């Protein structure tokens, strides 16, 4: 379902996971918020400092921006998520059938299903 973002070749697996989290939420996030999302379903959770280092390095690479909030930062992507663009095009082209297909896929992934429910609750 997801297309490869143009920065994917320059990212390690953990960096890609962090970017996916930021793209999926669509709002600037703190280290703690990213860590909570990335650790969902992980057997061995990542340390706060690990996630903080990954976010700082992505900002240094120019992939994220960060703005001060209290004693920490909120991070937001500076590059687009081509997967989101592709999904929009599929939904525009196939409408209800595409949405039904996405829901069927989400049922197989508890984390994705929770995210879908949260998005629907925001709209209600």
Mark whether 40 and 60 lie in a shared domain. yes
Mark whether 17 and 58 lie in a shared domain. yes
Contact 19, 58 (CB under 8 A): yes
Q: Is residue 3 part of a domain?
A: no
- Predicted local distance difference test score (pLDDT) of residue 65: 96
Query: Which has the closest alpha carbon to 51: 26, 82, 24, 29?
Result: 29
Cα–Cα distance list, 98 to 27, 78, 124 (Å)? 25, 28, 21
Mark whether 70 and 14 lie in a shared domain. yes
Mark whether 58 and 117 lie in a shared domain. no
- Tens-binned pLDDT, residue by residue, of the chain (124 aa): 444 445 555 688 999 999 999 998 989 999 999 999 999 989 999 999 999 999 999 999 999 999 999 999 999 999 887 666 677 778 788 888 988 888 888 888 888 888 788 878 876 6
CB atoms within 10 A of CB 116: 16
Total domains in the fold of the chain: 2
Mark whether 59 and 112 lie in a shared domain. no
CATH value at residue 47: 1.10.10.10
94's enclosing H/E stretch is helix 82-106
Nearest 5°: CA angle at 63, between 59 and 68? 40
Question: What is the spatial distance between Cα 81 and Cα 118, in angstroms, rounded to a whole number?
Answer: 20
Mark whether 117 and 91 lie in a shared domain. yes
């Amino acid at each position: 379902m997801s297309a490869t973002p143009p920065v994917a070749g320059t990212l390690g697996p953990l960096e890609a996971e962090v970017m996916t989290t930021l793209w999926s939420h669509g709002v600037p996030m703190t280290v703690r918020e990213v860590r909570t999302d990335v650790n969902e379903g992980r057997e061995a959770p990542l340390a706060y400092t690990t996630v903080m280092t990954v976010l700082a390095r992505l900002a240094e690479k120019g992939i994220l921006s960060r703005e001060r909030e209290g004693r920490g930062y909120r991070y937001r992507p500076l590059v687009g998520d081509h997967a989101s663009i592709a999904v929009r095009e599929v939904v525009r082209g196939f409408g209800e059938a595409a949405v039904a297909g996405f829901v069927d896929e989400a049922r197989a992934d508890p984390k994705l299903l929770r995210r879908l429910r949260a998005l629907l609750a925001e709209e209600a």
